[in-house]
A and B are shown apart, each in its own frame.
Chain A
């Protein structure tokens, strides 16, 4: 759409079209003017860049840190110990992205993460694995009824996941607009909904509105099963397992299973950063230029249009379009400036909720933890280990956070990737990654700099209740509070999804009413991060959807 300036003069000089294009291309390169600048080299920024470059755009990615990947990053935190510092498992990465960007050729290899082991304080445990028959037998040990319901539940959830799947790769319609294209999308959803069986329709409605525990109560009676399953409904939100709206996130757990990419949760060989590196590699191959340690000061504007960026070192870089993968607070409040934005939009952005609720503790270990519920090393350590012994435990952990304290006994999801991928730790040593909830960004008393160690100790104490030898094994530990996630990774208020995944912030409301189509009130400025539909997690869908929308808009 952007007609290069002076096109008409060239015609007057009688040059052929091809000559004009080649001259223009050379001229543009000489001017180092880009078609698109992508802000942020996280997985969404890189996906966005790769798709744009494949559509012959000249793309520059600017990353503030010295490593690529944003929150999908591997770092050698302690010599010889490589950690997936933030995000640590993968399941939702969109299969079309893996396919279209040919990520396996660029080095992506997913290793299986088999099962979830939940130790209980009474010495018992619940151990679910990918082998369906074994899981059934294990659940039957707790309740025969639940073992039967588990099959039904799995089938129902997969039906639901099939229904939701196409929504993930769709630009959300604007329900207040009369644009027929938006209505076409809504009608499409309506028709799909009509095709569901009656039971599935009601399930779908309940999934959207109920709490994870209320929903699971309809299927199961075993408390520990409900507790550990409901945990996936609260990850990254400031909600409890009994909060309405958390049931929907249970579905995400099944999304990975239906697409055939990995069919379950897994690790990337070399850590989560390997995913970003593979996407980065694909992007470079498509012609993307990636610049590291290039922090952005401002987005350049002229007449309400984005025209490029200014780096913190003062460099100005021009581009036709700017596509930001960082969250809206950084993009608009910091890089654009409120004075350039409509009031309503600013109000909506200020109302957009981040309030991070989780932290991360990364441990370098001399050996393997020994769980009282199942002593010795074994396959149970190769999957996720979940500290979620009862529904009440989970809910109490949340209650403390509501009043501004981190949970004294938090929900912890642990993995030991070095068991599956020995390359990430020295021989005989291990890395253990602990995702911890709840850790509210806003503490009522004190601040996170003072409380960091206390928080780390709480996590170790909690683990030690189940695996007492953990204390002797720890060589080093890295404690990341929500404040650290904000400072180091640019996640406002430490929210791992760039904003809560609650109903009022999803689909056509993400990140702001009327601005869910990846566009912004600033012309030629797009959003392509987790703060846009369909939200956070290593999906890549926002980056891809935004690229397709940008191209469709003729930018």
Chain B
């Protein structure tokens, strides 16, 4: 008899969510986490005495509201902060454009740049919201098998199909056209203001190994829109940083009756073909369960953990071809005060701050990474979570979390250990141009390269 119904490898947020759902449904579930705390990328760390920041992802924008309510995460201490300002985009000349949740406020910002853009903006937002609603069900369904779709797959797809029909001819064609398009073309069709174009386009390339001129990046944008119903990303984050999300998830998992073991590094999965699979830990301990669920990426799961003799060679070669090129790095700063950003109203700094003023700027940032170098002028997506959540820092002080694109995993010259400082300095230099004096405020910095992420 296996000890557990399900063993989950990896206690990242997806592993925890899976565990909570399974345990709620009465399955005896065990989560194995390599590190000393569960939560994977959702970690809050103290980077300087008294300064805490989300180490990796800084915005939980797309975290599913459905999951929050299903798992009742709020009673476990999760509190989401949703600033009214979504994005503040900065230009090198010191101009800025702020996008708010409230379309009317956004319009007056867009109006400063172009009356034409202000006129089409509401239609743009509505169209994205409508199309996003049609795509949304796809996110919460298991992708259908394209060779043998099951009846349930067809039923789900059928529903999406019907919703598609409901869009009307104009939006139907928009969806079909936009999918394969380069996001640079998409924003070019709507807007004339370069700063607005770049701000919208950035969402299509966020976290991707692609520039705005790469075909298909519009789909990235539509996909994001499907998650939160808006073309422009928001800066929703948990009070206490992403670690708080992990804590709430751990609480929910335990309350549901599942077990979490930390410092449990999985060395192998054996007997993948049999009914009783065994997970072997580095310590040599074997854990048996009916089912093994892996939250590790497919390459690690199938190329490292599972014995190749248990796998179809064809499947193996597909896994080898699974592409996961790292694209981004992270810089976290502890600051002695709030940086200026050319006098932008602090309220506008509570959302994301976008540095990447032109489509060409974003594309150039990507170009470098194609040839194995990080961008000399990177695209930066910044949050200052301490503005809305003072619990993170001592009074009057701040933490800044900077998502840096592009930073390829494989560098052509040197390696990440020797070039980490150069990478960090480069980000600070770039920031200094948009927030003069920022460098003097830095108390401590943490640089996370794609190599560290692994």
- Which of A's residues lie within 8 Å of B, judged by CB? 175-176, 194, 198-199, 201-202, 205, 209, 214, 217-218, 239, 242-245, 344, 351, 353, 392, 395, 399, 402-403, 502-504, 508-509, 513-514
Interface residue? B65 (CB, 8 A): no
Q: Which residues of A contact B179 (CB under 8 A)?
A: 503-504
In the complex, are the beta carbons of B146 and A205 less than 8 A apart?
Answer: yes
In the complex, are the beta carbons of A513 and B176 less than 8 A apart?
Answer: yes
**11 A/B residue pairs, CB under 8 Å, sorted by A:** A175-B176, A199-B314, A209-B180, A217-B321, A244-B214, A402-B213, A403-B364, A503-B180, A503-B215, A504-B178, A509-B177
In the complex, which range does the number of interface residues on chain B fall in? 20 to 34
Other contacts beyond A503-B215, A504-B177, A504-B180: 12, CB < 8 A: A176-B169, A202-B146, A245-B215, A245-B216, A351-B189, A392-B371, A503-B181, A504-B181, A504-B185, A508-B176, A509-B176, A513-B173
In the complex, are the beta carbons of A514 and B173 less than 8 A apart?
Answer: yes
Q: Which residues of A contact B314 (CB under 8 A)?
A: 199
Q: With A198-B147, A214-B323 in contact, is A395–B370 under 8 Å at CB?
A: yes
In the complex, are the beta carbons of A243 and B214 less than 8 A apart?
Answer: yes
Interface residue? B194 (CB, 8 A): no
In the complex, are the beta carbons of B363 and A402 less than 8 A apart?
Answer: yes
Closest to A194 in B: B147
The CA-CA distance from A201 to B149 in the complex, in Å, is: 13
Q: Which residues of A contact B213 (CB under 8 A)?
A: 243, 402
The CA-CA distance from A399 to B172 in the complex, in Å, is: 33
In the complex, are the beta carbons of B146 and A242 less than 8 A apart?
Answer: no
**Contact among B177, B210, B367 for A399, CB-based, below 8 A:** B367
In the complex, are the beta carbons of A403 and B360 less than 8 A apart?
Answer: yes
The CA-CA distance from A202 to B321 in the complex, in Å, is: 12
Q: Mark B158-177, 1 if CB is under 8 A from A, else 0.
A: 00000000000110110011
The CA-CA distance from A392 to B412 in the complex, in Å, is: 13
Q: Which residues of A contact B210 (CB under 8 A)?
A: 244
Distance to closest chain B CB from A213 (angstroms): 10
**Contact among B147, B169, B367 for A201, CB-based, below 8 A:** B147
Q: Which residues of B contact A508 (CB under 8 A)?
A: 176
Distance to closest chain A CB from B29 (angstroms): 32
In the complex, are the beta carbons of A209 and B216 less than 8 A apart?
Answer: yes
Q: Which residues of B contact A217 (CB under 8 A)?
A: 321
Closest to A396 in B: B371
Q: Which residues of B contact A199 (CB under 8 A)?
A: 314
Q: With A403-B360, A513-B173, A513-B176 in contact, is A244–B215 under 8 Å at CB?
A: yes
Distance to closest chain B CB from A432 (angstroms): 32
The CA-CA distance from A250 to B177 in the complex, in Å, is: 22
Interface residues of B in 95-151 (CB under 8 A from A): 146-147
Q: Which residues of B contact A353 (CB under 8 A)?
A: 185
**Contact among B146, B173, B178, B180 for A176, CB-based, below 8 A:** B173
Distance to closest chain B CB from A494 (angstroms): 18
Q: Which residues of A contact B370 (CB under 8 A)?
A: 242, 395
In the complex, are the beta carbons of B215 and A239 less than 8 A apart?
Answer: yes
Q: With A402-B363, A509-B176 in contact, is A243–B170 under 8 Å at CB?
A: no
In the complex, are the beta carbons of A201 and B146 less than 8 A apart?
Answer: yes
The CA-CA distance from A451 to B11 in the complex, in Å, is: 60
Q: Which residues of A contact B146 (CB under 8 A)?
A: 201-202, 205
- Which of B's residues lie within 8 Å of A, judged by CB? 146-147, 169-170, 172-173, 176-181, 185, 189, 210, 213-216, 314, 318, 321, 323, 360, 363-364, 367, 370-371
Q: Which residues of B contact A202 (CB under 8 A)?
A: 146, 318
The CA-CA distance from A198 to B315 in the complex, in Å, is: 11
Closest to A403 in B: B360
Q: With A175-B172, A403-B360, A509-B177 in contact, is A218–B215 under 8 Å at CB?
A: no
**Contact among B215, B321, B323, B364 for A243, CB-based, below 8 A:** B215
In the complex, are the beta carbons of A176 and B172 less than 8 A apart?
Answer: yes
The CA-CA distance from A514 to B169 in the complex, in Å, is: 9
Distance to closest chain A CB from B330 (angstroms): 25
Closest 4 CB pairs of A and B: A503-B180, A513-B173, A245-B215, A244-B216
Distance to closest chain B CB from A506 (angstroms): 9
Q: Which residues of B contact A218 (CB under 8 A)?
A: 321
Closest to B213 in A: A402
Closest to B177 in A: A504
Q: Which residues of A contact B363 (CB under 8 A)?
A: 402
Residue of A245, A392, A508 most packed against chain B (CB within 10 A): A245
Q: Which residues of A contact B189 (CB under 8 A)?
A: 351
The CA-CA distance from A509 to B176 in the complex, in Å, is: 8
Q: Which residues of A contact B169 (CB under 8 A)?
A: 176, 514
Distance to closest chain A CB from B183 (angstroms): 12
Q: With A201-B146, A202-B146, A392-B371 in contact, is A502–B215 under 8 Å at CB?
A: yes
The CA-CA distance from A395 to B366 in the complex, in Å, is: 12
Q: Which residues of B contact A504 (CB under 8 A)?
A: 177-181, 185
Residue of A176, A245, A399, A402 most packed against chain B (CB within 10 A): A176
Q: Which residues of B contact A242 (CB under 8 A)?
A: 370
The CA-CA distance from A508 to B175 in the complex, in Å, is: 13
Distance to closest chain A CB from B228 (angstroms): 24
Distance to closest chain B CB from A522 (angstroms): 19
Q: Which residues of A contact B170 (CB under 8 A)?
A: 344
The CA-CA distance from A175 to B173 in the complex, in Å, is: 9
Q: Which residues of A contact B323 (CB under 8 A)?
A: 214
The CA-CA distance from A399 to B323 in the complex, in Å, is: 23
The CA-CA distance from A403 to B147 in the complex, in Å, is: 42
Closest to A193 in B: B146
Closest to A350 in B: B189
The CA-CA distance from A184 to B314 in the complex, in Å, is: 34
Closest to A347 in B: B189
The CA-CA distance from A209 to B215 in the complex, in Å, is: 9
The CA-CA distance from A391 to B283 in the complex, in Å, is: 45
**Contact among A205, A214, A513 for B177, CB-based, below 8 A:** A513
Q: Which residues of A contact B181 (CB under 8 A)?
A: 502-504
The CA-CA distance from A502 to B179 in the complex, in Å, is: 12
Closest to B189 in A: A351
Closest to B188 in A: A351
Q: Which residues of A contact B318 (CB under 8 A)?
A: 202
Distance to closest chain A CB from B151 (angstroms): 15
The CA-CA distance from A508 to B170 in the complex, in Å, is: 14
Q: With A205-B146, A214-B323, A402-B363 in contact, is A245–B180 under 8 Å at CB?
A: yes
The CA-CA distance from A514 to B174 in the complex, in Å, is: 11
The CA-CA distance from A388 to B162 in the complex, in Å, is: 47
The CA-CA distance from A48 to B358 in the complex, in Å, is: 45
The CA-CA distance from A351 to B169 in the complex, in Å, is: 17
Q: Which residues of B contact A201 (CB under 8 A)?
A: 146-147
The CA-CA distance from A176 to B171 in the complex, in Å, is: 10
The CA-CA distance from A198 to B146 in the complex, in Å, is: 8
Q: Which residues of B contact A399 (CB under 8 A)?
A: 367
The CA-CA distance from A245 to B371 in the complex, in Å, is: 20
Q: Which residues of B contact A214 (CB under 8 A)?
A: 323
Distance to closest chain B CB from A217 (angstroms): 8
Distance to closest chain A CB from B187 (angstroms): 12
Closest to B169 in A: A176
Distance to closest chain A CB from B207 (angstroms): 16
Q: Which residues of A contact B214 (CB under 8 A)?
A: 243-244
Distance to closest chain A CB from B146 (angstroms): 6
Q: Which residues of B contact A243 (CB under 8 A)?
A: 213-215
The CA-CA distance from A392 to B314 in the complex, in Å, is: 29
The CA-CA distance from A502 to B213 in the complex, in Å, is: 13
The CA-CA distance from A504 to B186 in the complex, in Å, is: 11
The CA-CA distance from A508 to B173 in the complex, in Å, is: 10
Distance to closest chain B CB from A501 (angstroms): 12
The CA-CA distance from A199 to B176 in the complex, in Å, is: 25
Q: Which residues of A contact B173 (CB under 8 A)?
A: 176, 509, 513-514
Q: Which residues of A contact B321 (CB under 8 A)?
A: 217-218
Closest to B218 in A: A504
Q: Which residues of B contact A245 (CB under 8 A)?
A: 180, 215-216
The CA-CA distance from A233 to B336 in the complex, in Å, is: 53
The CA-CA distance from A175 to B169 in the complex, in Å, is: 9
The CA-CA distance from A217 to B180 in the complex, in Å, is: 21
